[in-house]
Amino acid sequence: MTTSLSGFPELLPAQRAVELAVLDQLRTTFELHGFASIETRAVEPLDALLRKGEIDKEVYVLRRLQAKDDGADSGLGLHYDLTVPFARYVIENAGHLEFPLRRYQIQKVWRGERPQEGRYREFTQADIDVVARDTLPFHHDVEVARVMAEALASLPFLPAMRLQINNRKLIEGFYRGIGVPDVAAVMRTVDKIDKVPAEAVSRLLVDEAGLSPEQAAKCLQLAQIRSTDTSFVSRVWGLGVVHPLLDEGLEELSAVLEGCAGFSNGRITVQADLSIARGLDYYTGTVFETRMAGFEQLGSICSGGRYDSLASDGKTTYPGVGISLGVTRLLMPLFQRGLLTGSRSVPSVVLVALPTEEARASSDAVAQLLRARGIPTEVAATPQKFGKQIRYAERRGIPFVWFPSADGAHEVKDIRTGEQVPADFAAWMPPAQDLRPRVVVAPTVTATATPGRDEPQ
């Protein structure tokens, strides 16, 4: 991994093999659920990028070096997420798309932020969204949560993950039920709960959001509720607040939690977390965040939620629900700490040895026969002594060296065990787990995990 330009990380080949394995697995999971790949252009008109008015997303503006008029060609910037471009794509292509549309989008995005761990200027996101015309049934909230939980569960080499789910209707219904005057102000204040002590939040709720001490206490009690099953419902009921929107939110959150229950295991925890407030002001129902054990300081590595209006062209509204996984944010810290790497720096499973330069054609022929059976193979670059050719393989992590023989008595050596056996190029296969570079987890991966504020209580 190199960092010659701050915020623009690059991977060495063995690390890139890990990233590819992750992206392949994400794609496999998304496609098994019928999500179609799309890509959007890297640029959007600046006014579209700035419409949301979030100044924390520093946009990179483009200018053609040779443009005669400096300003003529500007008006374009690099996208900072995949949601703004997708919304534009939906509007532009609505006549050619089938709704509900399930799409995944795995692309680079750019933000001119101050680089730090977990924050990059160029990074890869993997987004899934379901978007519909006019109305989008609630069961799609369950679907996207389930698909992303399944995707994360299918990456066993990653640290433990906690999917934290909340629902804006639940929170807003509760606040309205206790007579909160300014729902958004209370959400913003409760969001500070992981930075300042509960008493301070309580004071802010009274002093700034205009709540009574009793109302403030209820809000804090609500924010402390977490459960991995639907027991959160009775705990909310226990607070004695009644509102139809609260009931709707409780029902939705229960459904999402039950839908994901099958993916909870020792490594993946799916929980209702009623303290999740970030995002509640722009999402309209379900809200997701995800923390990685030992890396809580990175913030959420996988977030999303429900928009009642993902896109609109004035006549038609397109509601959507989706989750975005920060692939770079997830992998970089693991690479930086040496916790993950690939088993080799090349795809090759086999190095065909080269006895002499004159024998290149026959070594090439053996290699081509192995490739024809799906075995990534390279031929030694030069006819060095076999010991040197074996070290050539070793340095790249290639597990097998093939020794061709003019009389047909070929042999193959597993250089990890030293075992060398006769082999037939028309029949020999490496073990299935050697066909692709494997993801190697450093044994220290759990030892270095540092408990953060978000550790399960």
Per-residue HEC secondary structure of 379-441 comes to ECCCCCCHHHHHHHHHHHCCCEEEECCCCCCCEEEECCCCCEEECCCCCCCCCHHHCCCCEEE
Distance between CA atoms of 29 and 4, rounded to whole angstroms? 34
Residue nearer to a copy of itself on the CB measure, 31 or 281: 31
Q: Coil, strand or helix: which one is 27?
A: helix
CB of 293 to a copy of itself, least distance (A): 27
CB of 63 to a copy of itself, least distance (A): 5
Q: Coil, strand or helix: which one is 252?
A: helix
CB of 60 to a copy of itself, least distance (A): 5
Residue nearer to a copy of itself on the CB measure, 97 or 220: 97
Kindly give, in sequence order, each residue whose CB lies less than 8 Å from that of residue 65, ignoring residues fewer than 6 positions away: none
Residue nearer to a copy of itself on the CB measure, 42 or 206: 42
Burial class for 98, CB neighbours closer than 10 Å (0-12, 13-18, 19+): exposed
Helix (H) / strand (E) element for 270: namely strand 268-273
CB of 248 to a copy of itself, least distance (A): 17
Given a contact cutoff of 8 angstroms between Cβ atoms, the answer to whether 396 and 381 are in contact is no
CB of 117 to a copy of itself, least distance (A): 18
Edge-first strand listing for the sheet containing 268-273: 36-37, 101-110, 122-131, 317-326, 302-312, 286-292, 161-167, 268-273, 226-227
| Cα-Cα-Cα-Cα dihedral sign, residues 444, 446, 449, 451 | negative
Residue nearer to a copy of itself on the CB measure, 93 or 444: 93
CB of 356 to a copy of itself, least distance (A): 13
Residue nearer to a copy of itself on the CB measure, 236 or 412: 412
CB of 378 to a copy of itself, least distance (A): 3
Residue nearer to a copy of itself on the CB measure, 116 or 382: 382
CB of 280 to a copy of itself, least distance (A): 26
CB of 377 to a copy of itself, least distance (A): 7
Distances (CA, A) of 16 to 21, 26, 156, 246: 9, 15, 18, 46
Nearest to 300 by CA among 185, 194, 178, 446: 194
Residue nearer to a copy of itself on the CB measure, 140 or 162: 140
Residue nearer to a copy of itself on the CB measure, 15 or 324: 15
Residue nearer to a copy of itself on the CB measure, 334 or 346: 346
Distance between CA atoms of 209 and 180, rounded to whole angstroms? 9
Burial class for 238, CB neighbours closer than 10 Å (0-12, 13-18, 19+): exposed
Say which residue the tokens 């008109």 belong to. 45
Kindly give, in sequence order, each residue whose CB lies less than 8 Å from that of residue 399, ignoring residues fewer than 6 positions away: 344, 349, 393, 414, 415, 416, 430, 434
Residue nearer to a copy of itself on the CB measure, 271 or 345: 345
CB of 453 to a copy of itself, least distance (A): 30
